[in-house]
Structure 1
Amino acid sequence: MQIKKDTVVSLSYILKQDDANGAVIEIAKDSDPLVFLYGAGQMIPRFEEYLTNLSDGENFEFTLASEDAYGEYEEEAIIDLDKQIFSVDGVIDEEMLAIGNMIPMRDNQGHMLQGKVVSVTDESVKMDFNHPMAGKVLHFSGQIIQVREASSEELSHGHVHGDGGHQH
């Protein structure tokens, strides 16, 4: 079966920065593959485009420019926040504000964001809301392990159920 909209894809891959000789960022092995519902908006659109029409056992290799992946690194996404917004019942958890910590937050519209603590002063916390892979060229190489039709339940829920997917 070929990869197309509303199929469940299982694949293994090695993700490297820049090109085939770059530093390894992430690995999904055959024993613990990436499993996703193709066309459900879970993956980078350009990533899915490169996989279109591939079948079980086929290999792939492609490079995504930063603008086709997680976007350019934006200085405007680094923000100083009043330290008091991290207060719970008048107490600030200083361990939570350790440099490099990722903290889930919401923007003014209620959207979930992940912010990385960059620096902390007595008054403020500098947070970086860029995606960790923003500004990076991503090189993927791997193999399609399995392609199958999504179940009606998976389609209605918008995600994969069972092995490698979401469990209810």
Structure 2
Amino acid sequence: MNITKDKVVSMHYTVKNNEGALIDTSDGKEPLLYMQGHKNIIPGLESEMEGKTVGDKVEATIEPTNAYGEVIEELIQDVPRSAFEGVDKLEVGMNFQAQSEQGPVNVVITNVSDETVTVDGNHPLAGQTLNFNVEVVEVRDATEEELSHGHAHGAGGHQH
């Protein structure tokens, strides 16, 4: 069975950045499940998976535009330290949810000074080219429940 829209795919994967640093892997864990054609994974990898079948091994280099996008400079801002009232210790790498005109946005602290805190609302992998090694473990038809929810469910049913 080939990977096409509405198929549930089980795959093992490893993803590294262009410097060869490991970003994530399913090695030693359960395979990743996703439903093809429903934007459950980044667009570039979903395109690479189209038509593959069980046992296929895929090596794919996905540019930022087909992964998590380019870095948007406007999403990096210096805010007054007073905006973090009630937080005892501010450190680089801490995550917060900020309110924006478009609703809540997840931000990470990238710099802390006496007066300001620099926050970045970009996805942590924005601007990065991603290198995937994937092995297709299983391909099956999606269930009616999966189709109505728009994503794959793990063994035993619903796993949100």
Cα offset, 1:139, TM superposition: 0.6
1:1-168 pair list within 5 angstroms:
1-18=1-18, 22-29=20-27, 31-87=29-85, 92-95=86-89, 97-110=90-103, 112-121=104-113, 123-163=115-155, 166-167=158-159
> In 1, are the aligned partners of 2:33 and 2:153 still within 8 Å (CA)?
no
TM-score by length of 1: 0.83
Q: Which residues of structure 2 form unaligned runs of 5+? A: none
For 1:102 and 1:166, locate their aligned partners in 2 and report how far apart those are by CA, in whole Å. 28
> In 1, are the aligned partners of 2:14 and 2:134 still within 8 Å (CA)?
yes
Cα offset, 1:50, TM superposition: 0.3
For 1:163 and 1:79, locate their aligned partners in 2 and report how far apart those are by CA, in whole Å. 42
> In 1, are the aligned partners of 2:33 and 2:154 still within 8 Å (CA)?
no
- After superposition, the C-alpha distances for 1:11-48 in whole angstroms (9 at most, x for unaligned) are 111111127xx222111126421111211122211210
TM-score by length of 2: 0.87
- After superposition, the C-alpha distances for 1:59-112 in whole angstroms (9 at most, x for unaligned) are 10110112221122232221123444444xxxx1224x32111223342122x4
> In 2, are the aligned partners of 1:159 and 1:166 still within 8 Å (CA)?
no
Percent identity of the aligned residues? 39
Count of residues in Structure 1 that have an aligned counterpart in Structure 2: 160
For 2:81 and 2:157, locate their aligned partners in 1 and report how far apart those are by CA, in whole Å. 38
